[in-house]
Chain A
Amino acid sequence: MAHSRASWRGQGGAQAFLYLLPSLLFLAIFTYWPMLRAIAMSLLEWNLSRPEPVFAGLRNYATLLADPVFHLVLRNTAMLAAVAIPISIALGLVLAILLNEPLGFLRGVYRAAVFYPTMIPMAAAAMLWVWLFNPSIGLVNYYLGKLGLPRVEWLYDMTWALPAVMISWIWKNVGYLTILYLAGLQAVPTELLEAASVEGAGFWQRVRYVTLPFLGPTTVFVVVVSLINSFQVFDAVHIMTQGGPADRSNVLVYFLYQQAFRFWDIGVASALTAFFVAGLLVFVVFVVGQMERGVFYEV
């Protein structure tokens, strides 16, 4: 134990650093440096009416905090995470457990079908969803009608635009989560499952008392990945709703894009970026910290 730690600190450390250097270089150029620049630019007043930047202190942050649209956007983003993440995790888990059962040759077909949406670029998928959600000729309303449910204006409705975006997001992400859970399921020892069967545990009891506890580490990873994904929603909103009607489906990254590339307010856009990066970092650290307490990694 002591020996291995010593060698880790010694030449092994230098070696590890060398191995990491190429990716560190790229991260520095394309991630850390832009991040620092964004923070620096967030302190400038730099926009269409002031083409030459001047120092503005924290004024851009104050502008953001005073903007009611920013608050609406935060609420929408939080709502998307709070609703869409649990649903997609639950769906991913259920699908993984079902797809882990012996289904014969159909298993491969089902697995491919579930994973397929992950392979389609979101921009292309969003075009499809625009048609699926079309109020008059869309498939979604067609089935709602068949079920005797009221038709919904979906993308053109202040209440339903955000849920429509969520639905497309869940559809897009569930396949990926399913694959992660499927991998996690391979770690569940079969002898424990068999023992449980011998003891008389039914299917759902085995899932609840044997399988789920083993999926802790996978779930931590799944939650973190989903969280990051949910904060980065852009293409679906850009193509399906443009944030509308009246910003009811506007989310952080789309709002950031509007500030930067439509309004050319570089200062405010940079402040938003800094806020976004810091917020996401704090959030992920917090979530991982909280969740890892209840998780054991080794058997």
Chain B
Amino acid sequence: MRRTRLRSWRLGVAGLLIGLLVTTAVGAPGPRLVRLTFYYPVGVAGPLARVIDEMVAEFNRQTPDVEVVAVYSGDYDPTMQKVQTAVMAGNPPDIAIVEISEMPTLLAMNAIIPLDFYARAEGREWLRDFFPAFLQNSYSDGRFYAVPFQRSTPVLYWNKDAFKEVGLDPETPPATWEDLEDYAKRLVKRDAAGGVQRWGVTISGGWNDWLFEAFVRQNGGVLLDYGRRQLRLDSPEAVEALRFWVRLTNELKVAPPHSTWASTPPDFVAGRTAMLYHSTGILTFLKNSARFPFGVAFLPRKKQYAVEVGGGNFYVFEKIPKAHQDAAWRFIRWMVTPERAARWSMASGYIAVRRSAYEVPAMKEFVTKNPEYLVAREQLRYAYGKIMAPNFQRLREILKRALDDATGGRVRPEVALRRAQEEAEQALGAWLKR
């Protein structure tokens, strides 16, 4: 008796549950859940993947009708490969952060959609709030394709203790190439056997093509003009810049000829180099790791101060439903609101992409306490768009090989760059205008 009652009670509950399920699935009108796949890289050292995950989780909580699934995809190169493979297989992500120079390649693959329509709907002021230098890698043939997010410039880090040790003013970084050479000569430290204990300066490898571009700009040259489709890897300005590198690495031996992007920040922290050329995106990592006071400075000038912007932009993909593209825009807009841009900047050292982010109270307080977070932003006055072209990966490989060959002492700078120019002309083919 008791048992049957229990059973019928259970049956009743089960029936109720099933009924509920059926009505929500079929009958009840409710917001449809749009699920978006979002590939993101982390281009610098540090636990930044967690910050992205937190921001995505927050968005998902605030936005019941959209669910963003964040997929960490390694650093910039693997992310691009993952995106390309997915696009080729007909299964593109909805959103991805990809390195800014990849835009023309994505366009050549018909992988991304223009975002003018969405940006215009936000009002004129929205786009104007972004630092103009960051928007230079967003346009192709007058259309807008990419929203700046994790954006940087290279900066010079210097170890103040090392400066003091050799009698340099610890508060004055080198301002010119001549200063840099002079300081590096004094800062280099060798042991009895002639082995290097501390390099004077390290111009980080791996993305040395990016750093080299800045040196060429400082010397008044341009490697590639995207709008005019012109390439000059072997201009006199470029050759002189590379000669300067070779002077540091091979003649004076005050800088390591080769390194990797990931190896040099730990080297700086370990005191193995007194000055470091790297992205502003490692600032928080250095702050948390270095046991000595260090400074952040503009890259030293030759004819002028100059850097190239760097980092990753948001893209929205082709061949996904319109509802996904609309939802993707909502996510991107949310991620670059002043508050989020400020939070991302404080967590990483990347420059907040919008001016208004620096008006956010938390950010105001933060940069008053940590003025070094403003150096890269100030340097934006001298910043240019980064080199970009379809088949950028090949161009980058060609240029890197020329730089590594030259600093390794295997090929003279002018020969290395002339060969690189020939190879790159072939690789870019019909895209170039001659």
The answer to whether A51 and B109 touch across the interface, beta carbons within 8 angstroms, is yes
Chain B residues, Cβ within 8 Å of A51: 108-110
Cross-chain contact of A244 among B195, B390, B404, B410 (Cβ < 8 A): B404
The answer to whether B394 and A136 touch across the interface, beta carbons within 8 angstroms, is no
Query: With A49-B391, A158-B410, A262-B397 given, is the CB distance from A244 to B258 under 8 Å?
Result: yes
Q: Chain A interface: which of B77-85, B286-294, B349-357? A: B77-85
Chain B residues, Cβ within 8 Å of A48: 105, 108-109, 390-391
Query: With A263-B394, A264-B84 given, is the CB distance from A49 to B267 under 8 Å?
Result: no
Q: Is B148 close to A, CB under 8 A?
A: no
Cross-chain contact of A136 among B110, B267, B391, B405 (Cβ < 8 A): B267
The answer to whether A158 and B81 touch across the interface, beta carbons within 8 angstroms, is no
Query: With A48-B105, A244-B404 given, is the CB distance from A262 to B258 under 8 Å?
Result: no
Complex CA distance for A158 and B110, rounded to whole angstroms: 39
The chain B residue sitting closest to A266, CB to CB, is B88
The answer to whether B195 and A150 touch across the interface, beta carbons within 8 angstroms, is yes
Cross-chain contact of A158 among B77, B256, B408 (Cβ < 8 A): B408
Interface residues of B in 228-277 (CB under 8 A from A): 256-260, 263, 267, 270, 272
Q: Is B60 close to A, CB under 8 A?
A: no
Complex CA distance for A86 and B81, rounded to whole angstroms: 36
Complex CA distance for A258 and B206, rounded to whole angstroms: 15
Complex CA distance for A156 and B260, rounded to whole angstroms: 8
Complex CA distance for A158 and B404, rounded to whole angstroms: 9
Q: Is A235 close to B, CB under 8 A?
A: no
Q: Is B401 close to A, CB under 8 A?
A: yes
Cross-chain contact of A156 among B259, B393, B400 (Cβ < 8 A): B259
Q: Indicate with 1 or 0, residue by residue over B399-424, a CB within 8 angstroms of chain A CB atoms.
A: 01100110010100000000000000
Complex CA distance for A72 and B292, rounded to whole angstroms: 43
Complex CA distance for A157 and B404, rounded to whole angstroms: 10
Interface residues of A in 124-138 (CB under 8 A from B): 134, 136-137
Cross-chain contact of A245 among B195, B404, B429 (Cβ < 8 A): B404
Query: With A137-B270, A246-B410, A264-B84 given, is the CB distance from A49 to B405 under 8 Å?
Result: no
Complex CA distance for A156 and B401, rounded to whole angstroms: 13
Q: Indicate with 1 or 0, residue by residue over B115-133, a CB within 8 angstroms of chain A CB atoms.
A: 0000000000000000000
The chain A residue sitting closest to B391, CB to CB, is A48
Cross-chain contact of B84 among A150, A151, A261 (Cβ < 8 A): A261
Complex CA distance for A167 and B259, rounded to whole angstroms: 20
Chain A interface (Cβ < 8 Å from any Cβ of B)? 48-49, 51, 69, 134, 136-137, 150-151, 153, 155-158, 242, 244-247, 258, 261-264
Q: Which 4 A-B pairs have the closest CB atoms?
A: A246-B404, A245-B258, A156-B258, A245-B404
List 10 additional contacts besides A48-B108, A155-B260; criterion CB under 8 Å.
Answer: A48-B391, A51-B108, A136-B272, A156-B263, A244-B258, A245-B257, A246-B400, A262-B393, A262-B394, A264-B84
25 example contacts (A-B, Cβ-Cβ < 8 A) are as follows A48-B390, A49-B108, A49-B429, A51-B110, A134-B263, A150-B193, A156-B257, A156-B258, A156-B259, A156-B260, A157-B258, A158-B404, A158-B408, A245-B205, A245-B258, A246-B400, A246-B405, A246-B408, A258-B397, A261-B81, A261-B85, A262-B393, A262-B397, A263-B394, A263-B397
